[in-house]
Structure 1
């Protein structure tokens, strides 16, 4: 049977939908955010895992926000790789360069 009225969601339904969307967007952002986390690990001096976690959280926020903005502009599924671009550019800019020893 096809419902003819407005669809109403309970607060539990809304919470489940938001959790699924949040988890899905974090998973879709992993290719870029893990790259930035690796850069953060390499840049760390004292607490490398904590530094990597901070870079990952920042990269996730940047990537998810950019993906949401691209999706609002009608990019469809192209919004996902478009969301990776700023995070990957930050990773390239912050990537520590390897320099050989002078000796």
Structure 2
């Protein structure tokens, strides 16, 4: 049957909808945020990796939501760009080995 009045959601329905949206946003941000977490692991271990992943997720999800009304589904890959740029900038570079230096 088709409802003829306004649709009413209970508080538990609203909570479920918000949980699904939040989980989907985090899942869509994973390609960029996992890379940023890997950079954090290389820079300082497991807890720094978790912190980098968490901050990268916030950055990607925020960028996606900010641009979604303007560019629709293209907002998902655009949301990856800030996290990928931060991962590229923070990626530790290899340094030359000390054995190559003859003069101390």
TM over 0.5: yes
Determine if the alignment matches structure 1 residue 59 to structure 2 residue 40. Answer: no
Structure 1 unaligned runs (5+)?
Answer: none
- Find runs of 4+ consecutive structure 1 residues off by over 4 angstroms: none
Matched pairs, number: 99
| Structure 2 runs not aligned, ≥5 long | 100-104
Distance in 1 (CA, whole Å) between partners of 2:75 and 2:10 is 29
Structure with higher helix content: 2
Indicate yes or no: 2:67 matched with 1:70: yes
For the pair shown, the structure with the greater C-alpha radius of gyration is 2
**TM-score, normalization by structure 2:** 0.91
Q: CA deviation at 1:68?
A: 0.4
- d(CA) in 1 for partners of 2:74, 2:2: 32
Shift of 1:56: 0.3
What's the C-alpha RMSD, in Å, of the aligned pairs? Answer: 0.9
